[in-house]
Chains A and B, each alone.
Chain A
């Protein structure tokens, strides 16, 4: 578990993180979202004891990072895959990491195998593709078999198979009861990966909730209905006070009603349904809705 309490970081006059409090629960993949400059990296760095909070604190299983005995056994992190000496081999890189935390050499082979780098373990890391570096970074994070894992943009540079692999991998770690915090800009990916979200903007907490709640709260829910008797059904729904729009393909989009309500009305009138799909907003829509005013700079809106 990670607990941030009133976490604040100032760089000179700039407030990067502003009285931020949140909890990351074990057993779930928690997404950490925010526009550029929201303070995500700074927060991650404070969790890992790389930056010192100006005020407030962040605890990992009840202790600040710096008070952890052999921290790699408690917390594993992948912040930047390129933090590897280019002339050192993948194995040598993991070897010294393992040594520094009193971990046995065979654990290095285990994690290399886990991320699929066994065959290239002796090659110098400088020659790795971004995808391979990313896997090496993940291997490093897993070395101490930690209960808490932090990932910053983990799918960066991975190909589709790698992306799928890391998503399932993170969900597997969470299922084992570990705490997994993932920061990413790829919302369509995060919608598939994270079951909880911590969203920040300009250093402040915007939302902490499950992904489903987050999306439902800030987007409009609708139901898509297709029926051979669409006109009749549409009129009935309007009578009940719901808003109905007819699309080009003849399908109705009903807002203000749940699919259960629409289904009940249809059944009561004996109307045949060909489709009755609840439409959920996307994580992206919800995110844009909530962070709209905390974006650092905007690209010009219109094209030529």
Chain B
């Protein structure tokens, strides 16, 4: 518990996490508002309010990566390890705090996007939260944010540099996972198993009778069920996080 408080103090006594949170909320909810305002052809479905969560996810992952890379950049990691030399527990505490915070931001993004859409659209017939799938579109954002932040924290701990960690995460999520389909024949099959594509399937996949025209909204490839997708994404995130703990424990600080 003490270490959770320590990490909470660290996170909230600098400015960048605040900026990241504001940006994550603003980008996701803001773009949803634009989608909602433009949704004039037919009723807007619940799933459409979740499309933009990916913007927030990227920003939240940057925040998570910064939480550890700034410790390396400014040398406070030494003070951290001096204070708690087993190294694992402060890093786990940081993981818990960052994941919880990300989950809260995800919750705000999910409900915020949906709520703002509710206020904006004229036809709310498809926007009521009626099915389990509808709830997954809205609440799932929170779970993906939490898992994604752990993944980023893991990468940050391994790489130890802000620029390196952030570019790895963003380039992979935004470019590699999309460009991989350009590989002939197997490209599509590979993409189906890449983490962010799978995470997307969890939030956006298997929507109830979508009111969207064919081809509108982001594609949702994937072999696993939505909940299976979440398990898969979380497992990858945890794997990165655990490997980073082992490496940090062994490496010279």
Q: Do A and B touch directly, given a CB cutoff of 8 Å in the complex?
A: no
B residues adjacent to A (C-beta < 8 A):
none
